[in-house]
Amino acid sequence: MDNVSLENRRHSLAHLLSAAVLELFPGAKNSIGPAIDSGFYYDFDDLKISDADLPNIEKKMREMVKSWETFTEIPVTVDEAKKIFADNPYKLELIGDIAAKGEKLTLYYSGPESGVPSSHDSLFILHNSSFIDLCRGGHVTNPKKDIPADGWKLDRIAGAYWRGDEKNKMLTRIYGLAFSGKEELQAYLKQRETAGRNDHRKLGKELKIFTFDDDVGPGLPMWLPNGTVIIDELETLARKTEAAAGYSRVRTPHIAKESMYTKSGHLPYYEDSMFPPMEYEGGKYYLRAMNCPHHHKIFAAEQRSYRDLPLRLAEYGTVYRHEKSGELFGLMRVRMLSMNDAHIYCAEEQFADEFRAVNDMYLRYFKIFGIEKYQMRFSTHDPKRLGEKFVNEPALWEKTENRVRQALTESKIPFVEVPNEAAFYGPKIDVQVWSAIGREFTLATNQVDFAQPRRFNLTYTDREGKPQTPLVIHRAPLGTHERFIGFLIEHYGGAFPFWLSPVQVKILPVSEKFLSYAKTVHEKLKDQNIRSELDESNETLGKKIRQAKLEKIPYFIVVGEKEAAGKTATLESRDAGKIGMLPIEKLFAALK
């Protein structure tokens, strides 16, 4: 790509989109329009359009950009800005916010160089070939030259609450795609088409993995038998992995008294993400939104010494989050989550080894699931927001973040550092992974907590018999069932590996005459702990085979006259095609 920033191109196109919409629909009010990962968008009020209007808007954009030769910054006062946007409540709100922060107010003119306003008074005279917007900057120098005509297109229309708050008015959002050229745009469209075929919501319904129901409530998934098999297999894997790593399993309640969440600090910092309390026996109870306070209580249930550390407590704990309705998305954003959670209580000198061991566990899981591209996002605190967003322990923040940074560096795991995104009680790592089709997911988390052990007065006695406060590592390598299975559905395109497939083998009798023999094979497969399903329909063999392939079952077995007579079965693989006729005992051995 040339030296023009792709983000600046995208931001410039957002301005161009707004200019075209306001010219075609003079009654519309523009609000905000940032660059995003795949392009840009702009939100409008008083704009009633459909996707059918997009070609006309795009045509207008392509006409206008031919005369856009510059983006020019124009500093203005608060009064000047309010005068210019007097009839736009969204811009006025933004102006008020910027002024309250004491930041500089700037407008950006786009259009012919000859049209740049010569004075503030001329800002009020707008021509069809130019546009002025409230903006901090970040544009191309010459739109006419710097935006490739074949690298962008308008994409779709959606609804969006003003500032993402469902209490605010719903606006009309127009999305556009923008890349450095035609090839990159076409590659993205192809990837998105594949992602559409692999969408976990679509495949989850087709493969009967999960469902939602209005009477149960939005964001509350119900796992069907096929989905429950996947959950059971993942839990089995996690139990075996954690047992080998020295974890002890625990179980804790789904609700707790208000006093526990006040003590943990979650209520002051996290209350908006928790469900409203229940009044019961003169007190308040909350659905748990996190497992850590319960595990801290288990640590505190008995006296601990340095000989007990590190203590690793693990639980697939179900938690409940008050996610906004507009942010719910299939299994990726839900209100009930079953989390592969654990808390490691350790002495300071044990921290580095324990933290590295957790990262090694991530890497083993990546290998099992064929995750080849991944990155750790190391989230740190903002010193300016101590006591507001983060616990006010500056020395502990610095000390703990340095430990995590050093452990990541020594592990040689790729990571990026992101300021102002830590948990309120300590730094955290979000694990970013990319599926086989190139989609990025935030899969799991690994956090360090130096605050809650003090809040809960957690202590252990050291070798000298003195009380010490342990460090706590929160980790969830497989994230939640919901998000991880959503990821796996898309990663595998619904074609799960044999060990994870809800149905591993389907038996297809050629006709009803061989149903009895097929049932015998079916029972023997079940005796071998192979998840088998028998197709007893009256359909033709060809249709049965097509159905088995649609269900993405790893293997299917055909039994007919020859197979029944010879006590054999013809085995065919979803991935490798026809394998051939095998004696039953060899068939079992091959599948095992």
CATH of domain 503-591: 3.40.50.800
Average pLDDT over every residue of 191-220: 93
Average pLDDT over every residue of 220-226: 97
- The rounded distance, in Å, linking the Cα atoms of 322 and 328 is 10
| Distance of alpha carbon 186 from the chain centroid | 24
- Report the pLDDT value the prediction gives residue 558, as an integer from 0 to 100: 94
- Report the pLDDT value the prediction gives residue 125, as an integer from 0 to 100: 54
Amino acid at 65: V
- Report the pLDDT value the prediction gives residue 324, as an integer from 0 to 100: 85
**Which residue positions form the known binding site?**
292, 343, 474
- Report the pLDDT value the prediction gives residue 382, as an integer from 0 to 100: 77
Q: Which of 163, 118, 108, 119 is nearest to 141 (CA)?
A: 108
Is the Cβ–Cβ distance between 580 and 570 less than 8 Å?
A: yes
CA within 13 Å, CB half, 544: 22
Is the Cβ–Cβ distance between 540 and 528 less than 8 Å?
A: no
Secondary structure string (H, E, C) spanning 199-239: CHHHHHHHCCCEECCCCCCCCCCEECHHHHHHHHHHHHHHH
The Cα diameter of the chain in Å comes to 96
Handedness of CA 413, 416, 419, 421 (dihedral sign): negative
- The rounded distance, in Å, linking the Cα atoms of 406 and 413 is 11
Q: How confident is the model at residue 415 (pLDDT cuts 50, 70, 90)?
A: confident
**Which residue positions form the known binding site for Zn(2+)?**
292, 343, 474
- Assign domain 6-197 to a CATH class: alpha beta
Is cis: bond before 148, omega within 30 of 0?
no
Phi and psi at 41, nearest 5°, equal -150, 165
Q: Tokens 């098999």 correspond to what residue?
A: 229
Domains 6-197 and 503-591 share a fold: no
Higher per-residue confidence, 427 vs 311: 311
Secondary structure string (H, E, C) spanning 481-520: HHHHHHHHHHHHCCCCCHHHCCCCEEEEECCHHHHHHHHH
Average pLDDT over every residue of 501-522: 94
Which tens digit of pLDDT belongs to each residue from 237-270?
Answer: 999 999 999 999 999 999 999 999 999 888 877 8
Is the Cβ–Cβ distance between 221 and 483 less than 8 Å?
A: no
- The rounded distance, in Å, linking the Cα atoms of 342 and 327 is 27
Amino acid at 355: F
Q: Which of 116, 169, 112, 118 is nearest to 142 (CA)?
A: 112
- Report the pLDDT value the prediction gives residue 161, as an integer from 0 to 100: 92
Which tens digit of pLDDT belongs to each residue from 39-74?
Answer: 999 999 999 999 999 999 999 999 999 999 999 999
Q: How confident is the model at residue 122 (pLDDT cuts 50, 70, 90)?
A: low
Is the Cβ–Cβ distance between 222 and 216 less than 8 Å?
A: yes
- Report the pLDDT value the prediction gives residue 3, as an integer from 0 to 100: 56
What are the DSSP calls for 334-395, one per residue? Answer: -SEEEEEEEEEEE-GGGHHHHHHHHHHHHHHHHHHTT--EEEEEEE---GGGBTTTB-S-HH
Helix boundaries (H) for 435-573:
452-455, 481-492, 515-527, 541-550, 561-566
Which of 539-543's residues contact partners 24+ apart within 8 Å by CB, and which partners?
541/508, 541/510
Which tens digit of pLDDT belongs to each residue from 345-384?
Answer: 999 889 889 988 998 899 899 999 999 888 888 888 777 7
How does the average pLDDT of the chain come out, rounded? Answer: 90
Neighbour tally for 444: CB within 10 Å? 22
Higher per-residue confidence, 469 vs 120: 469
Phi and psi at 160, nearest 5°, equal -150, 130
Which tens digit of pLDDT belongs to each residue from 546-560?
Answer: 999 999 999 999 999
Reported residue count of the chain is 592
Question: Is 524's pLDDT higher than 80?
Answer: yes
Task: For residue 134, give every residue at least 6 positions away whose Cβ sits within 8 Å of its Cβ, in sequence order, or none.
Answer: 81, 85, 91, 94, 95, 105, 106, 107
Average pLDDT over every residue of 65-86: 91
Instruction: Classify strands 248-249 and 532-534 as parallel, antiparallel or unpaired.
Output: unpaired
- The rounded distance, in Å, linking the Cα atoms of 515 and 204 is 30
Q: Tokens 């045509």 correspond to what residue?
A: 59
Question: Is 126's pLDDT higher than 60?
Answer: no
Which tens digit of pLDDT belongs to each residue from 274-292?
Answer: 999 999 999 999 999 999 9
- Assign domain 206-253+290-316+340-480 to a CATH class: alpha beta
Average pLDDT over every residue of 133-157: 93
- The rounded distance, in Å, linking the Cα atoms of 6 and 36 is 10
Question: Is 1's pLDDT higher than 50?
Answer: no
Neighbour tally for 251: CB within 10 Å? 9
Q: How confident is the model at residue 406 (pLDDT cuts 50, 70, 90)?
A: confident
Task: For residue 197, give every residue at least 6 positions away whose Cβ sits within 8 Å of its Cβ, in sequence order, or none.
Answer: 493
- The rounded distance, in Å, linking the Cα atoms of 200 and 108 is 42
- Report the pLDDT value the prediction gives residue 438, as an integer from 0 to 100: 80
Q: How confident is the model at residue 21 (pLDDT cuts 50, 70, 90)?
A: very high
Task: For residue 198, give every residue at least 6 positions away whose Cβ sits within 8 Å of its Cβ, in sequence order, or none.
Answer: 437, 489, 490, 493, 494
Which tens digit of pLDDT belongs to each residue from 452-504?
Answer: 898 899 999 999 999 999 999 999 999 999 999 999 999 999 999 999 999 99
Spans of all domains in the chain: 6-197, 206-253+290-316+340-480, 503-591
Is the Cβ–Cβ distance between 345 and 311 less than 8 Å?
A: yes
Average pLDDT over every residue of 134-159: 93
Average pLDDT over every residue of 393-418: 81
- The rounded distance, in Å, linking the Cα atoms of 217 and 287 is 16
